[in-house]
């Protein structure tokens, strides 16, 4: 892949390591102005220096943000939009798998707060900047391992916490939020997509069992996974390829649009949206 992104400003969350860092590296190679949105300042600074050295692109910066925190996201958005320069691409990549039930600083179950509310709040708060940058693009890192969303108990308060099920429902929610955002932004020339990077051997997956990785890859396959660089190929394509601008509300696997079984339930999508608005205070 090689695209000209010299006039594009891109934000990538979770960019200090793994897929996020590789997506940011690719966008920097293409000449984009890239903002690394990272929770850990030290790791983010190291990733920044590595990407600048590798790409020769000095228009790469790093801003700290904890995407599980409403206050941290709002501070990040104020900082990244302070100069009035629009954003053209937002890649929501930051995600966790929490082996035990934990809560964020806002008292929300951590997997839901990070993987779902983080995507939701970041995108909604950056929408004015994305609209100014139109044609613009939003990319949600999702998964084929998605399902089990229980709107009456998204935080596993009344049911037994299960790390795999918490992750799985979060990835369903990410796809559903993308479809609602795509409809909201259809007239604004802001396209919204979700993509499956594959089962990638990153720190996220190394916190889990081999059984988890096998499920992500599919029954009968060897649980070894892609490299982070390989996993970054589809999200990079969706973020940068000119032909993707012809589409919105697409679920991408290996650079090809696929059908999404969660796209048609408009009532549940609307109900999920209401839950996210209530928990973040954000609305498009």
Cβ-contact 127, 284 below 8 angstroms:
yes
In 10 A of CB 201, how many CB atoms?
18
Residue 173 and residue 280: Cα distance in Å, rounded? 15
Is 167 assigned a catalytic role?
yes
Q: Which of 3, 29, 119, 167 is catalytic?
A: 167
Residue 210 and residue 265: Cα distance in Å, rounded? 32
Quick one: tokens of 80? 């990244």
Residues marked as catalytic:
167
């Amino acid at each position: 892949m090689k695209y000209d992104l010299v006039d594009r400003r891109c934000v990538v969350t979770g960019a200090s390591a793994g897929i996020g860092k590789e997506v940011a590296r690719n966008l920097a190679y293409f000449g984009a102005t890239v903002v690394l949105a990272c929770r850990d300042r030290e790791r983010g600074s190291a990733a920044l220096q590595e990407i600048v050295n590798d790409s020769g692109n000095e228009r790469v910066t790093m801003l700290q943000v904890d995407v599980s925190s409403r206050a941290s996201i709002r501070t990040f958005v104020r900082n990244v939009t302070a100069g009035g320069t629009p954003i053209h691409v937002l890649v929501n990549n930051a995600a966790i798998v929490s082996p035990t039930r934990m809560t964020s600083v806002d008292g929300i179950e951590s997997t839901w707060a990070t993987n779902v509310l983080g995507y939701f709040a970041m995108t909604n708060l950056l929408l004015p900047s994305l609209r100014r940058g139109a044609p613009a693009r939003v990319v949600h890192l999702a998964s084929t391992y998605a399902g089990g969303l229980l709107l009456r108990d998204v935080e596993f308060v009344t049911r037994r916490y299960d790390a795999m099920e918490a992750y799985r429902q979060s990835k369903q929610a990410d796809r559903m939020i993308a479809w609602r955002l795509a409809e909201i932004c259809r007239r604004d020339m802001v396209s919204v997509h979700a993509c499956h990077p594959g089962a990638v051997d990153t720190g996220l997956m190394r916190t889990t069992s081999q059984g988890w990785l096998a499920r992500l890859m599919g029954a009968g396959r060897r649980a070894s996974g892609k490299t982070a660089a390989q996993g970054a190929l589809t999200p990079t394509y969706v973020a940068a390829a000119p032909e993707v601008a012809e589409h919105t509300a697409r679920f991408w696997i290996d650079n090809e649009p696929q059908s999404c079984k969660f796209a048609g339930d408009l009532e549940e999508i609307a109900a999920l949206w209401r839950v996210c608005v209530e928990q973040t205070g954000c609305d498009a």
